[in-house]
Chain A
Amino acid sequence: MNFEVIADNIPKLLQGVGLTVELVVLSVFVGFILAVPTALARVSRMWWLRGPAYGYIFFFRGTPLLVQIFLVYYGLSQFETVRTSALWPILREPYWCAIIAFALNTGAYTAEIFRGAIEAVPSGQIEAARACGMTHALAYRRIILPQAFRIALPAYGNEIILMLKGSALASTITLLDLTGMARTIIARTYMPVEIFLAAGLLYLLLTFIFTQAYQVLERHLTRHVALQR
């Protein structure tokens, strides 16, 4: 085991950690914005809202993330209209393609988590809200959604960790995230065991820090429930 190689390449690997964190934060943020309306559409009684939401979730949960990244990064360039459009400067960058693919992917999983949470809000509360004269929208805003978010918290934390691990796929479209950086260093030094070990430890550290921080957040957001017990 050659620890010198690890020490020499730590700055580069940390650079990779930076990109990994950046990709995950942006994708999770955009994914959240996608997920809320999708979840609402998914539980809607209107078929023309429910249908597309179901199709979106079904496609992105049923296919590998790798296919989705390749479809966005390599696939879209097949169309002349895309290549000549105003969006091309964005769609030709692997960075934005990764974020688009990750966000669409995590958005679908998150929407399904939120759907479950919305359906888990006791129906008696919704009836009570209606009986108090709240409109459908108001009941959603005041009664259903705040509780649904709380119910969804544990599963949502898992989804963010899955996204963190999925972000390693960014390395397949030339991005130098933690995995990409590790692969580049290995191509130069031929020391796979050492470098992968270092990268693995950094991933474990990232997951550990995230789970600890998330636990604090979860306790903070559910403290009114904890008090009742």
Chain B
Amino acid sequence: MIDFQGFGNQLLLGAAVTLALAFGALTVGLVLGLAGAAAKLSHFVVLRTIAGTYTTVVRGLPELLVVLVIYFGSSGLLTALAGWFGHDEFVEMGPFTAGVIALGLTFGAYATEVFRGAILAIPKGQIEAAQAHGMGRALTFRRIVLPQVWRIALPGLGNLFLVLLKDTSLVSVIGLDELMRKSTIAVGFTREPFTFYLAAAFLYLLMTVLAMALIGRAERSASKGLRQAGA
């Protein structure tokens, strides 16, 4: 048995922070992705341009750079913003918040494309039928498009989540005590880098496998109706 010299619990605690970070960023990213897809498909040029710029820029930047920009770049912005409201001290964003925002922005940019593809994949006839029944655009989107988008987008979103789970390790660079940084701290005390980084690697593998199983279940349950119709 490998001796973690008392750091085993610390690694597990770090893994919990990693998961919290991943799910936080997932929530932000899903909202951004849906909004981005709606903007990209809208009739307004301004919205389309904003969404287009957002996805092009964020998808072209290294995730590490996004994390660094949000963390180090936001304090100046926040301080200026707080100054407006009469608060004249230095304001800083914590590494967890910065991580959730940075990874959420990245996830959102890729999710925009996934959602856009899923919305476009819904047969036009269904939308025409909905409108023939007298549904407005908003109602059609909510009742006809959105429920099906979930099913079509799920495989793509699942892949993005697996990427996100691994990208959480980048937030260790700005000092969040997640799995990667906990390992580095343990390495500093024990001088056993291989042992601890390998342990971290296996914890990431475990989380990936669990996430894959969950995504698989979600996909099966989302396409339940489809399979019955096909059988």
Contact = CB atoms under 8 A, between A and B. Distances in A.
Interface of A: 58-59, 62-68, 70-71, 74-79, 164-169, 171-172, 179, 182-183, 186, 192-193, 196, 199-200, 203-204, 207-208
Nearest to A70: B197
B69 A196 contact: yes
Given A63-B201, A67-B204, A172-B173, A78 B73 contact: no
B200 interface: yes
A28 B198 CA distance: 24
Given A165-B62, A204-B56, 20 more contacts: A62-B205, A63-B208, A64-B168, A64-B170, A67-B197, A67-B204, A70-B180, A71-B193, A74-B197, A75-B194, A77-B193, A78-B194, A168-B63, A168-B64, A179-B62, A183-B68, A196-B72, A200-B61, A203-B61, A207-B60
A17 to B, nearest CB: 13
Contact of A75 (B57, B65, B73, B198): B198
A82 to B, nearest CB: 9
Contacts of A79: 194
Nearest to A79: B194
A62 B73 contact: no
Contacts of B69: 192-193, 196, 200
Given A62-B205, A207-B60, A67 B180 contact: yes
Nearest to A162: B163
Contacts of A164: 62
B90 to A, nearest CB: 13
Interface string B182-209: 0110010001111101101100110011
Contact of A192 (B73, B166, B194, B201): B73
B219 interface: no
A68 B202 CA distance: 11
B76 A168 contact: no
A78 B195 contact: yes
A65 B166 contact: yes
Nearest to A171: B64
B172 A74 contact: no
Chain B interface, >50% SS class: helix
Most buried by B among A66, A164, A169, A208: A66
Interface residues of B, number: 37
Contacts of B166: 62-65
B112 interface: no
B167 interface: yes
A51 B198 CA distance: 20
B208 A196 contact: no
B198 A71 contact: yes
- Residue of B56, B192, B198 with highest tally of chain A CB at under 10 A: B198
A203 B193 contact: no
Given A171-B64, A179-B65, A204-B61, A186 B72 contact: yes
Given A67-B200, A71-B197, A207-B60, A192 B65 contact: no
A70 B193 contact: yes
Contact of A196 (B65, B169, B197): B65
Q: Which 8 interchain pairs have the tightest Cβ spacing?
A: A168-B62, A75-B194, A64-B169, A74-B193, A192-B72, A165-B62, A64-B166, A78-B194
Nearest to A167: B62
Given A74-B187, A193-B76, A63 B204 contact: yes
A165 B110 CA distance: 14
